[in-house]
Amino acid sequence: MDMKPTISNFQRSKSLIPTVIQDERSKDILMLGYMNQNAFAKTRETGFVYFWSRKRKKLWKKGETSGNMLKVKEIYIDCDNDALLIKIERMGKNVCHLGTKSCFMNKL
């Protein structure tokens, strides 16, 4: 079954879909970002992860300034068609903007 986020999915979620990034090899969860329809299309088109920056209000390629890009290996959509999981190959050392491999480093 080839499922894809549709316009209605982006509209239902106020134009943004939560996107979990997972390292394909280690299976580590690395970060959570948000995609709008343009970010999703650009990700599919280029093979590299793009997000919508809620803070800067613009499309951005993950790693465009740091060099820590995320190469797409597989894209999954959840059963409600309102969240994505992207398995990636890291093209740099870190994913988090704080300089760590994962954004999920603080255990509660």
Domain ranges across the chain = 7-90
Give this prediction's pTM: 0.86
Q: Mind listing the pLDDT tens digit of every residue in the chain (108 residues)? A: 455 665 556 655 568 999 999 999 999 999 999 999 999 999 999 999 999 999 999 999 999 988 999 999 999 999 888 899 999 999 988 998 888 999 998 999
Per-position b or e across 10-48, b if 16+ CB within 10 A of its CB: beebeebbebbbbbeeeeeebbebbbbbebbebbeeeeb
CATH class of 7-90: alpha beta
Tell me the C-alpha distance between 105 and 108, whole Å.
Answer: 10
